[in-house]
Amino acid sequence: MVPLSLAFVWAFRTGLVLHRVRPVKPKKHGRLGQSLFRAGLDLLTLWALAL
């Protein structure tokens, strides 16, 4: 359970940093087009596949 929690926090914090660098635009209904967790997870996946 601990590795899953660490992975979630790592992906979310990466998404927060990515949001500061390149903000995700909100849609017309006010929610973000992509969640911060998903943005961080996508970036971590790209980094992992580049290794």
- Note down pLDDT in tens along the chain; length 51 residues: 999 999 999 999 999 999 999 998 899 999 999 999 999 999 999 999 998
DSSP state for residue 29 in the 8-state scheme: T
What's the pTM?
0.81
- Torsion-angle region of residue 4: left (phi > 0), alpha (psi -120 to 50) or beta? alpha
- pLDDT at residue number 15: 95
| Residue located via tokens 């500061």 | 20
- pLDDT at residue number 8: 94
- pLDDT at residue number 24: 85
- pLDDT at residue number 46: 95
CA-based end-to-end distance of the chain: 26
Phi/psi for 25 (5° steps) reads: -75, 140
Contact, 25 vs 40, CB < 8 A?
A: no
